A and B are shown apart, each in its own frame.
Chain A
Amino acid sequence: MKAFDYAIASNESGALAALERGYRPKASGIDLLDLLKERTAAPDSLVSIADIATLKGIREEDGGIAIGALATLEETGAHAGIRKHFHALAEAAAEAATPQIRARATVGGNICQRPRCWYFRSADFNCLKKGGPTCYAVEGENSFHAVFGNGPCHITHPSNIAPALVAFGAEIVTVAPEDGGRTIRAADFFMLPEDGGIMKENVLKKDELVTEIRLPAAVAGQKSGYVELREKQSFDWPLVSCVAAFNGTKWTIVLGHVAPTPWRAKGSESLLGKAAAITPEIAEKAAAASDRGAKPMSQNAWRLKLVRAAVRRALLLADGKEID
C-alpha cells in the first residue's frame, strides 16, 4: 500500500484538528486496510481515532442506549440491553463477519464502510463511484448488485447493522469543527446515488466524525426479528438480510444488501397495518408484497425470492413463532 502520514488523536478536538488538515479518520481500520491494500483508497494521511476514550463503550441513558462509535460489533452483539430491547440489532452485529473481526470492528466503521461491489473494489475498473464514466455492473456481472433503487450506481450497502438502525429509528451523532456536529436519523444518514451518494454512501462531510449511535427508549410491546441469508452459513457476506421491528403500534420492515442503502419494504409494511400478531398467513402475504418497486438487473432477479423468504421468516421470528 501507498505510504501515508499517520497521527494519533487522544481526544475529539485532536481528531477534528487532523480532519481539518485533510487527514482521513481510521478506527480499527478493518475495511480501510482492505481498501488500502487494493489501492481502492490511497489517502495521504490518516488519523487514528481508536484511542479516544469518549467514543468507547455502550451506555444506557434517558431510557435509551448510546453506542459509542468505537464500540465493537462483539460488544454490541453481547450487550444485555440491546439483546433484550433491540434484538435484531444484536443479532445483526453478532452475525457479521468472523469472531476475529467482530473483536475489533467498530459500529462507526461498520456504518461507514465502503461497498463490496467487485468493480468498485478492483483497481482495474474506474467506475462511477471512483469518478469514472460508467457503472460496469449494468452490462457486466451483476448477480450480487442492487435489486432496488434507480442507479446509476448499483452497489448494495454492506453494513450488517444499518437496516436495524433504520428499523429502530436510531440516530447518528457527529462532531464537526464548524457547527459542532449534528444528530442525524439513521434513515437520513445513508444516501442513494440519485441523491448525491455516488462518490460516498452517507451524508457525512469530510471533516465530520461519528461519535455515537443513539437508540430510543424501548416501548411496551416492542419486538423484532432478524434474518440473514447467505451462500454458506459460516463466514460470508449476506445475499439478503431483513429486520422486522414492531414498535407497539406498527411494523417497520428494512432489507439489507439489496439496495445502495438500507431499504424499507413499504409494500409489506402497508399490508401489515397495525397487526401485532403474526400468523404464517399474514407473514406470507406481507412477504409477497416485499418486492414492490423492485428493479432487478440482468442477472439478479433470483434474489427477490430470497427477499420474500427473509421477510416472512423475520416477521415470524419477531413474533416468537417457529420458522421452517
Chain B
Amino acid sequence: MKDRENEGTLPGPAVFTAPHSRRLFLKGMGLAAGATAILPTVAVGQNADAETEEIPGLKILGRGEQKVTLKVNGASRTVAIEPRETLLNVLRTKLGLTGSKEVCDRGTCGCCTVLLDGASIVSCLMLAIDAVGHEVTTIEGVADDPKNAALIDAFCEHDAAQCGYCIPGIVVRSSALLDENPAPTAEEIRQGLSGNICRCGTYTKIFDAVGSVSKGGRT
C-alpha cells in the first residue's frame, strides 16, 4: 500500500525535499532503539540448551530474532522476528502493511482485524511466529480482492467513515461476515460487527453499507 505521507515532494528549501515523514522518522527511531535492544536477546536466545537438547515432539526456538516465512496477501515474505512480536507489529513495522491499525492493542477495538486462513481475527493478540504456516490477509489483500469491490464502494456511497481509522478493520470483518453469512439480517450485522469499535460513532452508516451488499448484492 502506498504511503500517503510520502507522496510527491514538498516545495521549498532543499533541506525539506528529502523524503521524510513522521512515519519514517518514527521508523528510524524504532530501528535505532531496536538495534541496541536486540543484541543481548540474540545472545540469550542462543543458549546451550536451546542449541543442543533434542526433545521429541518439541521444537525449541529460543528468544532471539529468527528468520521465518509468513504468507501474507498471497505472497511469501521472509522476515526476521522475535517470538514476542505480535502479528500486528510485524505487519505494520516489518512488512510495510500499515492498513491494519493499532488502537487498543488489547483485542477490544477490532482495528487490527485481519484474516487468518479466511477467519477474521485480531492481529494484536496473536504472535507473528504463530502465523507461520497459515495464510494471512490484511486490508490490503481484502481491498484487492474483486469480490469485495461492491462492499468497499458501499462504504464510500454510505459515507460510512468519519475519521476512518477503524474502517480497515471493519471492512476486513465485514468481508468475513459476508463469507460466513451472505445475507445477514440487520441484527446479524450488528452482532457480527460487535468486535469493532468506531469512536466517531458512524455505526448506522456502517451497518447500512454492509446491509446494502447483503442478500447477494456483493459482486
Chain A residues with CB under 8 Å of chain B are 1-15, 17-18, 28-30, 33-34, 36-37, 46-48, 50, 97-101, 103-104, 234-235
A-B contact pairs, 7 of them (CB 8 A): A5-B60, A9-B58, A17-B55, A28-B125, A33-B127, A98-B122, A104-B125
Q: Are A4 and B84 in contact (CB under 8 A)?
A: yes
Q: Are B55 and A30 in contact (CB under 8 A)?
A: no
Q: Are B107 and A101 in contact (CB under 8 A)?
A: yes
Nearest CB in chain A: distance from B110 CB, A: 6
**Dominant SS at the A interface?**
mixed
Q: Are B58 and A6 in contact (CB under 8 A)?
A: no
**C-alpha gap A93/B127 in the complex (Å):** 23
**Of B58, B62, B82, B196, which is within 8 A of A14 by CB?**
B58
**Of B50, B113, B116, which is within 8 A of A5 by CB?**
B50
Q: Are A8 and B59 in contact (CB under 8 A)?
A: yes
Q: Are B58 and A10 in contact (CB under 8 A)?
A: yes
Kindly list chain B residues whose C-beta atoms are within 8 Å of the C-beta of A37. 105-106
Kindly list chain B residues whose C-beta atoms are within 8 Å of the C-beta of A29. 125-127, 130
Flag whether B141 is at the interface (Cβ < 8 A): no
**C-alpha gap A263/B134 in the complex (Å):** 40
Nearest CB in chain A: distance from B163 CB, A: 20
Kindly list chain A residues whose C-beta atoms are within 8 Å of the C-beta of B58. 7-10, 14-15, 17-18, 47
Query: Contacts A1-B84, A34-B106, A98-B110 given; 8 further ones with Cβ under 8 A?
Result: A2-B84, A3-B44, A3-B63, A18-B55, A98-B195, A100-B107, A100-B173, A235-B108
Q: Which residue of B lies closest to A232 (CB)?
A: B194
Nearest CB in chain B: distance from A111 CB, A: 18
Q: Are A6 and B173 in contact (CB under 8 A)?
A: no
Kindly list chain B residues whose C-beta atoms are within 8 Å of the C-beta of A6. 61-63, 83-84, 129
**C-alpha gap A232/B86 in the complex (Å):** 29
Interface hub of B47, B59, B116 (most chain A Cβ within 10 A): B59
Kindly list chain A residues whose C-beta atoms are within 8 Å of the C-beta of B190. 234
Kindly list chain B residues whose C-beta atoms are within 8 Å of the C-beta of A104. 116, 119, 121, 125-126
Kindly list chain A residues whose C-beta atoms are within 8 Å of the C-beta of B191. 99, 234
Flag whether B6 is at the interface (Cβ < 8 A): no
Kindly list chain A residues whose C-beta atoms are within 8 Å of the C-beta of B196. 98
Q: Are A7 and B119 in contact (CB under 8 A)?
A: no
Flag whether B41 is at the interface (Cβ < 8 A): yes
**Of A12, A17, A28, A100, which is within 8 A of B110 by CB?**
A100
Nearest CB in chain B: distance from A230 CB, A: 11
Kindly list chain B residues whose C-beta atoms are within 8 Å of the C-beta of A48. 130
**C-alpha gap A34/B84 in the complex (Å):** 12
Q: Are A103 and B130 in contact (CB under 8 A)?
A: no
CB proximity to A under 8 Å, residues B106-138: 106-108, 110, 113, 116, 119-122, 124-127, 129-130
**Of A8, A28, A101, which is within 8 A of B61 by CB?**
A8
Kindly list chain A residues whose C-beta atoms are within 8 Å of the C-beta of B86. 33
Nearest CB in chain B: distance from A90 CB, A: 15
**C-alpha gap A301/B105 in the complex (Å):** 33
Kindly list chain A residues whose C-beta atoms are within 8 Å of the C-beta of B177. 99
Flag whether B45 is at the interface (Cβ < 8 A): yes
Kindly list chain B residues whose C-beta atoms are within 8 Å of the C-beta of A13. 56-57
Per-residue contact bits, chain B 8-42, to A (CB 8 Å; 1 contact, 0 not): 00000000000000000000000000000000010
**C-alpha gap A104/B125 in the complex (Å):** 10
Flag whether B192 is at the interface (Cβ < 8 A): yes
Kindly list chain A residues whose C-beta atoms are within 8 Å of the C-beta of B129. 6
Q: Which residue of B lies closest to A74 (CB)?
A: B119
Kindly list chain B residues whose C-beta atoms are within 8 Å of the C-beta of A101. 107, 121-122, 125, 195
**C-alpha gap A11/B113 in the complex (Å):** 30
Known: A100-B113, A101-B125, A103-B121. A7 touches B59 (CB 8 A): yes
Q: Which residue of B lies closest to A18 (CB)?
A: B58
Known: A17-B58, A99-B194. A4 touches B107 (CB 8 A): no
Q: Are A28 and B119 in contact (CB under 8 A)?
A: no
Kindly list chain A residues whose C-beta atoms are within 8 Å of the C-beta of B130. 28-29, 48, 50
Per-residue contact bits, chain B 46-84, to A (CB 8 Å; 1 contact, 0 not): 010010000111111111000000000000000000111
Q: Which residue of B lies closest to A33 (CB)?
A: B125
Q: Which residue of A lies closest to B133 (CB)?
A: A51
**Of A3, A4, A5, A235, which is within 8 A of B195 by CB?**
A235
